[in-house]
């Protein structure tokens, strides 16, 4: 769902469009915890040594992690998930799997639920989110990668909705 680097609101607002990572300093054997889309264009990713990241992009902006802020935002986002399903499996501060087969809102399509959740996350946190919809966790994760541009209504999602409807008939 939401990308951790965006949780550093003040920094990302002051540096729009610039490559940014959350992580430890390259001068102190740090590691990248999260990378902005702009940084990813240089091949920078989480778990990469900071020294390698700065070599790939000398203009890279490093931001120290703010775990107290991340925890608070994560709690808010997971509360939004719980509005739609009792079956929420948290994977990380900013990621979870939801089984919405039987959902609290009685919404018939998983892609509609995903849009509702993304809208709620944005309205309540000003953070964008991605979502993948499918019949299992692996395919849902793959769908979320194909959907990084912050929209849900992809051919993959529509096909998953059809498959889910067929499987339940």
CB 167 within 8 A of CB 135: yes
Predicted confidence (pLDDT) per residue in 141-162, tens digit:
888 776 554 444 444 444 555 5
| Domain residue ranges in the chain | 4-65, 68-168
pLDDT value at residue 8? 55
User: In this model, does residue 140 exceed pLDDT 60?
Assistant: yes
Distance between CA 3 and CA 139 in Å, rounded? Answer: 20
Looking at the domain that runs over 68-168, which CATH code has it been given? 3.30.70.270
Q: With beta carbons less than 8 A apart as the criterion, state whether 13 and 36 touch.
A: no
pLDDT in tens, 14-56: 567 889 999 998 888 899 998 888 999 999 999 999 999 999 9
DSSP class of residue 5 equals: G
What is the CATH T-level fold of the domain 4-65, as seen in this structure? MutS, DNA mismatch repair protein, domain I (3.40.1170)
**CB 70, CB 4: distance < 8 Å:** yes
Q: Which helix (H) or strand (E) holds 146?
A: none
Catalytic positions are 95
Q: In Å, what is the CA distance from 31 to each residue of 23, 27, 48, 98, 117?
A: 6, 11, 6, 30, 31
3-12, 48-57, 110-119 — most confident range: 48-57
Q: Which two tokens stand for residue 124?
A: 């309540």
């Amino acid at each position: 769902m939401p990308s951790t680097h965006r949780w550093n609101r003040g920094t990302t607002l002051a540096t729009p469009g610039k490559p940014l990572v959350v992580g430890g300093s390259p001068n102190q054997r740090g590691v990248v915890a999260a990378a902005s889309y702009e940084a990813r264009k240089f091949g920078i990713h989480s778990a990469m040594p900071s020294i390698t990241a700065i070599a790939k992009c000398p203009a890279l902006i490093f931001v120290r992690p703010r775990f107290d802020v991340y925890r608070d935002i994560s709690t808010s986002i997971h509360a939004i998930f719980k509005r739609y399903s009792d079956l929420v499996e948290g994977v990380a501060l900013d990621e979870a799997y939801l089984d919405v087969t039987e959902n609290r809102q009685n919404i018939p399509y998983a892609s509609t639920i995903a849009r509702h959740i993304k809208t709620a996350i944005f309205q309540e946190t000003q953070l964008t989110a991605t979502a993948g919809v499918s019949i299992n966790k692996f395919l849902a994760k793959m769908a979320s990668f194909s959907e990084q541009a912050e929209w849900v209504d992809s051919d993959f999602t529509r096909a998953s909705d059809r498959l889910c409807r067929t499987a339940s008939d």
